[in-house]
Structure formats: structure tokens, C-alpha cells
Structure 1
Amino acid sequence: MIVEQEELEPVLPGVRLYTVTYDSQGLHVKAAMAVPDGAGPFPALLYCRGGMREIGKVRMERISQMAAFGYLVFAPHYRGNEGAEGRDEFGGAERHDVYAAFALLKVSPWVLADQISLYGFSRGGMMALLAAIECPGFHSAVIWAGVCDLFLTYQERVDMRRMLRRVVGHPVKNRQAYLERSPVYRAGEVSCPVLIIHGTEDENVSKTHAVKLAEALAAHNKPHELWLVEGAAHLFDSAQIREYTVKMFAWLRRTNSLSGAQADRVDRVDR
């Protein structure tokens, strides 16, 4: 249920921006939403942000760029962020903020209910994959530099261990909490095609996450593609972002079977 919706100043011509307050498990949580000009309905992209608190916040410029491809983009901030109620547990209960957003999109008059896809960046990869497992009905999922194994994150990111022990617990003493946040071990339950985009020089989330996810999906005969981008870091440079965003939407267009008018719109942006 949407509690409040406020229109914001646009940052890109042809794209409207909103802050949305909605209900998730009885909490009022917040999201950013970017909507292409026009009456719709549009295919939708449920954008799962990375980071935590001030790190990895939703950028209005980025979701506006994505909406320019003809998609409504809905980006939950997760509970405990942007003044919302509750507490961000790094893949814990706030995953329900993504599930509640999916329920909202399915009944929105602006959205084509059978063409809702997921996008997860960094920590958001974990959130998007969990949604693809626990909420059947997504058309596809894009995992960009995404976390898929929290045990591996704890091993690789010494700088994050203190936060992880505080929020999630120790991976030995609290093994179940790490398993619940590691969708690679539930790849057989993923309910939609997956596109994996990852830089080979990513020092924040190693390419091992992408390779492990691709191998796990292949082992369960789940449709997927793995695009390893040679030389790319965790944050792609502007040219890489442009190139792979265009390629990503071309992939979404192929998997989503958009109507003629929507496909035309994406083609214009591609060029």
C-alpha cells in the first residue's frame, strides 16, 4: 500500500521523479521512483541498491537514465534508511521491502504486471536474487557487480567484518544467517532468467561471486548469461556504464518481449 507519493524536480528531460512511502510488514519505508513521460503502462525495473545507509544510496541520475529506456524504475531505500522506520539488516528482514515493492508494481496502472524485472547492484545483487527466489513472477533479473555469497564477502572484505559481525553475526556462530543471505546456495529456486555483469578487476565484490553464481545456475539448468568485463572495477567508468547499460536493456528487451511501441522506444535510446 502506498502511503504517500511526492513528485520531485526531474534531473533528466522526459523522466518524472517521485519519492514514495509505502507499507512493508507494517513499517513505513521509502523508495525513489523514475517514470518515463507518457501514460504507460510500462515495463518495470525493481532496482535493488547496494551498500548500507549513506554508502551506495540510490542516485536519482542513475534511475532516471534507466527510465529513459522506457522502464518505470522503482528503487527501495530499505527500512532504516532515508528516515524510514525499522532497521537495515543487510539482507535480513528488509528483503521484504523489495517483496512489498513487487506487490505494489503488480497492481500499478503504470506497470505491465507481466514485465517486471529485477536489477541488483553490489549488495543489491543479494537482494534481487532473494526476490527472484522467494517471489515467483519476475520476468528477469540483472545482477551487476553483485554479492551472491556472504561467506565469501566476509572472507574477502576485511574492512567489512566488524559491520557484518554487528549486523549479521559471525559466519561460524551465525552460519544460518549467512546462508539465508547467500542466494548462490539456492540457485535452483531462481524463477527467472538472470544476466550477470561483473568487472574482472572488481576489488569490492570479486568476480568469484559472478562465476560461482553462473556455475550454480548452470548446475540447475537455469537460463542465464555471464558477461565478465575485462579491466572493469566495481564502479564502471562512464563509457563502460553507457555501453553495458545499453546492452543490458537490449537483453531485457529480448527476454521481456516488449510490445512494438516499447521496443521502438528502447531502440531509439540504444542508438
Structure 2
Amino acid sequence: SVSHGFYYPPTNRDFKGMDEEVPPLVVMLHGGPTSAAQATLSLKTQYWTTRGFGVLDLNYRGSSGYGRAYRDQLIRKWGIVDVEDAVAGAEYLVSEHKADPMRLVIRGGSAGGYTTLSALTFANTFKAGASLYGVSDLEALAQETHKFESRYLDGLIGKYPEEKQIYQERSPIHHLDQLSSPCIFFHGLEDQVVLPNQAEVMVEALKTKGVPVAYVPFEKEQHGFRIAENIKRCLELELYFYSRIFGFIPADPIEPIQIQNLDD
């Protein structure tokens, strides 16, 4: 199968990495899940590339912009083909010596957060991740989300409750025994699309399991962050989280956050 994406190598006019060192990689996942990453200026991408990370901005199967047949590959396969493509993209860059296999991270918001948590749970490729207002429990999403998207999962997963077993099989919250990679969670406390408890339950479970985890709730934020200070804080804390996991010191002065099972 073929999937698409945009690869951006680490670039900084003031710094140069060591020639023999293969850089870490951030796999970025768009929301939707049928949205798409675009080949346009992204300050978020530049945040990572200027700090020594390569970036794979992935348009997994199901993304828009590559024709109906490509988009339709996500029908009833959400949580499967998107995860497969994230893993394949990262492993390809490792094979090309463009990414360090021990420093592969995955991140996404909303639907991208679901793929992030699924990849961390059902695959062993990624060493850390970040979920921004992401889905961990598909059943809860089907039952609790707002009316406009209440039947959206019928096409992505299957009808609920008729396909209840599939919803459970593809929900990371039901497979925490398979999750051992550190993760940081960001969530708006006024989110009515993916309720905050989707993150809170995962955080508590990882704390109990002994996996390094951090949780950053934002007051006055809904589904997708809009306050500039919070958007900036998200990026900084995500970088800080990876710095603690991988053992490097960020060039930026960043106010630290407690990481459960790492600072205890």
C-alpha cells in the first residue's frame, strides 16, 4: 500500500548537528481524520526542525487530496490503516538513516490524538508521544460527543452499538497492558467534542502502571486551543517532555512540569 507525507529535515542556520548523529523524528498527525497536511509554511513544523528534530507530516490513507479511492481506504479501518502508515513512515525514514529508531515520537490532536494513542498502544515503533484533546475510548466518543458528529463513527468504525466489540478492540483505553511508552496529554476543560475524561482516564491508568506521563489541562479551552499563550505552552512542554525522556537539554528556557513516574 502507498501513503503520503511531507518530510522536513532538522534545519537551523545557527546550529549544526553532529555528522555521525541521526536525528530524532516527530511524526505529526492531522485531525479529521479525513483532513490533510498541506505543503505550506507551518511555524509548528519549524519549531521542531529548528530544535533538531526531523518531521514527518503524514497524510495516512484516508486523508483528503489524493482522490476518493485513497480517502475511502479509511472506511471502517480507522485505527488500523492510519496506524500502519505512521509506523511504516517512521520505519522507512529509519531505514534511510534520517531518523533515530530510539527517538521516534508521534503526536496529534483530536483524531490525530486517537491515532497517536493507538500507535503507542498497538505498535512498538514509537518511544514517546503527545495527545492533544485525543480520543482514547471510541465508545465514549460515540455516546458523548455533540449531535453534529454523533453518527460520524458509523463510517469510520461501524454502527454503534451493533459493532460494540470493534469499538472496544480499537480503543486504547481497553488495552493498557500493551502501552508502555511515555505520553503527555493536553486537553481543554471545556471540550464538548472529546470530553476531558478521555485524557484523565488514560493519565490515571499510566500513572498506576508506572509509565512516565504528564497531563496539562487548560481552563477556557475547548476542542482545539485558541489562546496564544496556551498554544505556545503546549509546544514548549511537549519539547520539555521529550527532553526528559531522551535525556537532552533544550536550548530554550522552559518552565518545567512534573512528569509522573519520572519525577517521583
Bucket of the pairwise TM-score, normalised by the shorter protein:
0.7 to 0.9
1:243 equivalent to 2:253? Answer no
* Superposition map of 1:1-271 within 5 A: 27-37=1-11, 41-54=22-35, 57-58=36-37, 60=40, 61=42, 62-81=44-63, 82-83=65-66, 85=70, 87-88=73-74, 89-157=77-145, 158-236=147-225, 237-258=227-248, 263=249, 266-268=250-252
Aligned mates of 2:95, 2:254 — CA distance in 1: 29
Structure with the higher strand share, 1 or 2: 1
Name the CA distance, whole Å, in 2 between partners of 1:32 and 1:139.
Answer: 21
Kept in 1, the 8 Å contact 2:187–2:199? The answer is: yes
Q: Extract unaligned runs of 5+ from structure 1.
A: 1-26
Question: Are residues 80 and 123 of structure 1, via their aligned partners in 2, closer, same or farther at CA, if it must alter by over 3 Å?
Answer: closer
Decide whether the 8 Å contact of 1:199 with 1:229 is kept in 2.
yes
Distance 2:237 2:155 in 1: 38
Consecutive unaligned residues in structure 2, runs of 5 or more: 256-264
TM-score by length of 1: 0.79
Runs of 4+ aligned residues of structure 1 deviating over 3 Å after TM superposition are 268-271
**Displacement of 1:137:** 4.2
RMSD (Å), alpha carbons: 2.2
Q: Indicate the percent of aligned positions where both proteins have the same amino acid.
A: 22
Distance 2:128 2:239 in 1: 11
Task: Please say if residues 68 and 269 of structure 1, whose CA atoms lie closer than 8 Å, have aligned partners that are also in contact.
Answer: no
- Helix, strand or coil: the match of 1:252? helix
Write the distance in 1 (CA, Å) between the matches of 2:240 and 2:253.
10
SS in 1 for 2:4: strand
Q: CA deviation at 1:269?
A: 8.0
TM-score (norm 2): 0.81
Task: Work out the CA distance in 2 between the residues paired with 1:257 and 1:139.
Answer: 13
